[in-house]
């Protein structure tokens, strides 16, 4: 599965083959957009009550997705704005259980 983020800080569509690569790029985006590192920005989000998920990576993706469009790229090249963790889960479930 391929992932994307529409980076408005550089006006480009960034594409990645793995979630860890996307997360690393999102940390750079966070610093450009908010002038804070991931930990500082997530602390601000938590202080505002905007962090619900206990998994720090999922919480970061959820928070960033409120500011930037991100999602998956289908094999035909179509971009789908979505929850990337849910898409990964559904993809794995589909592979093991079928349609």
Q: Which residues contact 45 (CB under 8 A, 6 or more apart)?
A: 51, 59, 63
What digits encode the pLDDT tens for the residues 4-59?
999 999 999 999 999 999 999 999 999 999 999 999 999 998 888 876 777 889 88
Question: Using CA atoms, how far apart are residues 3 and 21, in angstroms rounded to an integer?
Answer: 9
Q: How confident is the model at residue 95 (pLDDT cuts 50, 70, 90)?
A: low
Q: Check: CB of residue 59 under 8 Å from CB of residue 42.
A: yes
Q: Check: CB of residue 13 under 8 Å from CB of residue 6.
A: yes
């Amino acid at each position: 599965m391929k992932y994307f983020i529409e980076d408005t800080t550089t006006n480009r569509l960034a594409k990645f083959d793995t979630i860890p690569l996307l997360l690393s790029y999102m940390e750079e985006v966070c610093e450009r957009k908010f002038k804070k590192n991931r930990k500082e920005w997530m602390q601000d989000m938590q202080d505002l009550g905007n962090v619900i998920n206990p998994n720090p990576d999922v919480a970061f993706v959820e928070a960033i997705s409120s500011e930037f469009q991100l999602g998956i790229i289908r094999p035909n090249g179509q971009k789908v704005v979505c929850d990337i963790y849910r898409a990964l889960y559904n993809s794995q479930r589909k592979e093991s259980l079928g349609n």
